Amino acid sequence: MSEKYLFCIESIQKSLNSLISILEKAQTWAKETGKSDEDVLSARLAPDMFPFVKQVTMVSDNAKGVATRLSGTENPAYEDNETTIAKLINRVKKTREFINTIEEQDYTDAHQKQIVLPYIPGKYQTAQDYVRDQALPNFYFHFVTAYAILRNQGMPIGKSDFIGGLVLNDL
């Protein structure tokens, strides 16, 4: 039963790698175009949406949350004090490295977990409902929004940057 939850974690890890690559390109692009880190971090798609920096920290928080809720491990708190693109890169790398410390066997009983979200008191979700209805959609919402903010600002990235490469096998 844990295979689908491991697949979820593998998918998140692949996307974290893509986000790191995008952030590294954003750092170079910002320097080349004369944009300050503050310009990039404060950019948003709409006035009522979170800025770029918050979209990236939400990707990180969601990734940690999925991994720890499914594995039953402790979720480390990060300060949300990133003020540069370099600090965002480090945060996403730290998130990826943290998730890599969780052992495969820690996900063995994931299908039996009752997922309690602190912002919905008195309720829980099954692991399957959590992954399908909350975890993956929320993770990818913030990831695609961060990507879209950079595209909206004129950064030359495309779908292949978001996808992050394909595993191809010979026929």
User: Could you read off the pLDDT tens digit of each residue along the chain, which spans 171 residues?
Assistant: 468 888 999 999 999 999 999 999 999 999 999 999 999 999 999 999 999 999 999 999 999 999 999 999 999 999 999 999 999 999 999 999 999 999 999 999 998 999 998 889 999 999 999 999 999 999 999 999 999 999 999 999 999 999 998 889 999
Give 30: exposed, middle or buried? Use CB within 10 Å, 0-12, 13-18, 19+.
buried
Dihedral, CA of residue 167, residue 68, residue 91 and residue 49, to nearest 10:
90
CATH number of this structure's domain 3-163, picked from the four choices 1.10.3720.10, 3.90.1150.10, 1.20.120.450, 3.30.420.40: 1.20.120.450
Beta-bridged to residue 40, according to DSSP, are: none
pTM: 0.95
pLDDT at 4: 80
Phi, psi of 10 (to 5 degrees): -65, -40
Nearest to 99 by CA among 1, 5, 25: 5
Cα distances (Å, whole numbers) of residue 86 to 3, 20, 91, 93, 139:
34, 10, 9, 11, 21
